[in-house]
Chains A and B, each alone.
Chain A
Amino acid sequence: MPKELIRLQNCTMAFDGDVVLDNVNIHFNDKEFLTLLGPSGCGKTTMLRIIGGFLKPTSGDVIFDGERINDVPPNKRTVNTVFQKYALFPNMDVFENVAFGLRIAKVPKDEIKQRVMEMLEVVSLKGFEHRDVTSLSGGQQQRVAIARALVNRPKVLLLDEPLGALDMRLRKDMQIELKRIQQALDITFIYVTHDQEEALAMSDIVVVMNHGVIQQIGTPEKIYNEPKNAFVADFIGESNILDGVMIEDGLVEFFGRRFQCLDGGFAPNEPVDVVIRPEDVDIVPPEEGMLRGVVTNLTFKGVHYDTFVDFKGFKWLIQTTDYCPVGSRIGIKIDPDGIHIMKKSEYSGMFGDYSSYSEEYDELGDVNAEILEELEAPEA
Chain B
Amino acid sequence: MKKRQASPLGRIFMILVYLFLYAPIFVLIVFSFNSSKSRSVWTGFTFKWYTELFQDSSILSSLGTTLLVSVLSALIATLVGTIAAVGFFNMKKRWSTPLLSVNNIPVMNADIVTGVSLCLAFVAAGSFLKFKLGFGTLLIAHITFNIPYVILSVMPKLQQMDKHLVDAAQDLGCTWSQAFVKVIMPEIMPGIVNGAIIAFTMSVDDFVISYFTAGSKVQTLAMNIYSMTRKRISPKINAVSTLLFLVVMILLIIVNIRESRQNAEAERKKLKAASEP
Tell me if B273 and A135 are in contact (CB < 8 A).
Answer: yes
Residues of B with C-beta under 8 A to A74:
167, 170-171
CB nearest neighbor in A for B91? A379
Q: How far is the CA of A84 from the CA of B183 in the complex (A)?
A: 18
B36 → A minimal CB distance (Å):
58
Q: How far is the CA of A174 from the CA of B93 in the complex (A)?
A: 38
B166 → A minimal CB distance (Å):
9
Interface residue total, chain B, C-beta cutoff 8 A: 24
Residue-by-residue, is A70-89 near B (CB-CB < 8 Å gives 1, otherwise 0)? 00011100011101110111
Q: How far is the CA of A75 from the CA of B177 in the complex (A)?
A: 12
Q: How far is the CA of A74 from the CA of B167 in the complex (A)?
A: 8
Q: How far is the CA of A75 from the CA of B165 in the complex (A)?
A: 13
Tell me if B174 and A87 are in contact (CB < 8 A).
Answer: no
B140 at interface by CB-CB < 8 Å: no
Q: How far is the CA of A88 from the CA of B164 in the complex (A)?
A: 9
Tell me if A132 and B269 are in contact (CB < 8 A).
Answer: yes
B2 at interface by CB-CB < 8 Å: no
A49 → B minimal CB distance (Å):
8
Q: Given the interface contacts A136-B276, A379-B92, does A75 sit within 8 Å of B171 by beta carbon?
A: yes
Q: How far is the CA of A247 from the CA of B221 in the complex (A)?
A: 98
Q: How far is the CA of A119 from the CA of B269 in the complex (A)?
A: 25
Tell me if B171 and A134 are in contact (CB < 8 A).
Answer: no
Tell me if B172 and A104 are in contact (CB < 8 A).
Answer: yes
B51 at interface by CB-CB < 8 Å: no
CB nearest neighbor in A for B272? A135
Q: Given the interface contacts A132-B269, A137-B276, does A379 sit within 8 Å of B93 by beta carbon?
A: yes
CB nearest neighbor in A for B172? A101
Question: How many contacting A-B pairs (Cβ < 8 A)?
Answer: 78
Residue-by-residue, is B155-172 near A (CB-CB < 8 Å gives 1, otherwise 0)? 000000010110111111
Majority DSSP secondary structure for residues of B touching A = helix
A358 at interface by CB-CB < 8 Å: no
Q: How far is the CA of A80 from the CA of B169 in the complex (A)?
A: 10
Tell me if A80 and B171 are in contact (CB < 8 A).
Answer: yes
Q: How far is the CA of A219 from the CA of B269 in the complex (A)?
A: 45
CB nearest neighbor in A for B161? A90
Tell me if B164 and A83 are in contact (CB < 8 A).
Answer: yes
Q: How far is the CA of A53 from the CA of B193 in the complex (A)?
A: 33
Tell me if A100 and B172 are in contact (CB < 8 A).
Answer: yes
Residues of B with C-beta under 8 A to A73:
170, 175
Q: Given the interface contacts A132-B269, A136-B276, A379-B93, does A104 sit within 8 Å of B165 by beta carbon?
A: no
Chain B residues near A (Cβ < 8 Å): 92-93, 162, 164-165, 167-175, 178, 182-183, 186-187, 269, 272-273, 276-277
Chain A residues near B (Cβ < 8 Å): 52-54, 73-75, 79-81, 83-85, 87-91, 100-101, 104-105, 132, 134-137, 140, 148-149, 152, 379
